[in-house]
Structure 1
Amino acid sequence: MTPVKQTKLYSPDGIHNGNCLAACYASLLDLPLWMVPPFEDMFGRSDWYERIDEWLAKAHKLERVRLQGHPVDELPEFYIACGRSARGVLHAVIYSNGAIVHDPHFSDSGIESVNSVEYLRPLS
């Protein structure tokens, strides 16, 4: 896992979404951010998961597993945790063993609690 910072920030009046999730995928895959498609700009505010799944399968032979809550004992070493940031917006960060290890936002303030997690595994 190579930490990558996001380059776009969420704004309720903005023309794009923040790219924290893309930065998390870049971090997990040890890629520069420019190699992750701008999923945050492809649809509305939350409809990009199908495109992420397609990209992971075709480009990396991986699948995304998403779980509600934070079942730490079921997760790999590094995974994406999603929850509300102190700024009040949905945010994605990297966790390991139940603790934050990377926040792609420049504030490094993390998330208030984990609502869901995502991790990658080889396609079956």
Structure 2
Amino acid sequence: MKVEELITNLPWIGLEEALQYGFSEAETLGKNFIGITLDNGDGLILYVNPFLNDIYKLLLMSKSKYNLPSIGVFSNFNGDKYFIYDVGDISELINILGSNLKVIYVEVIKNVLEDFLYQTVVG
């Protein structure tokens, strides 16, 4: 999917700006994963081609369990566990999380989480 499709279909406050910044940083750093933190504590992970503005995979990362296909469980150095889900359709995000969310943080994913995602998502 193109980044514009996500912007058009997800009405979350700050999403467009976060995606613009995230894609710019990913292009500059030569990275393929962007993380977006939402005000409910959940996060989106986007597997992207920053040079083409393409989103290859949309993932949801959460401490909560959702009725979505799981790609794995990630544990950080503090021992916190996060479920990572494959989101097949944007409407699933709205059905599960709602439409009244706000983006509070965006970053290019690196280090241990990036390695985990390359192993589980990219193969």
TM-score by length of structure 2 reads: 0.28
Greater share of residues in helix: 2
Structure of higher RCO (CA pairs closer than 8 Å, 6+ residues apart) = 2
